[in-house]
Amino acid sequence: MITKADIERVKANLVAKGTTAKAWADQHGYDHETVYKILQGTRKCNYGKSHEIAVALGLKPNPETIQ
């Protein structure tokens, strides 16, 4: 489950790197609207592209590394 604290941490990391959510999305080949919805907490990110983006943002663990 993604918490508000997790989302705030990711947002703070983007600010610290001097990048926007849109720039991050473009750089990683993701739809910026979906990234915005994830960072607003309106997507559960349980599967599909939203889950993939949440893993890339560091909001969820990579399922390939979970035993």
Domain limits, the chain = 4-57
Instruction: Name the residue among 63, 57, 66, 62 with its Cα closest to residue 9.
Output: 57
Q: Give the pLDDT score at 64.
A: 84
User: In tens digits, what is the pLDDT along the chain, a chain of 67 residues?
Assistant: 899 999 999 999 999 999 999 999 999 999 999 999 999 999 999 999 999 999 999 999 988 887 6
Half-sphere exposure of 51 (CA within 13 A, CB side): 8
Q: How far is CA 66 from the centre of its chain?
A: 18
* CA torsion, ordered 43, 23, 29, 50, to nearest 10 deg: -10
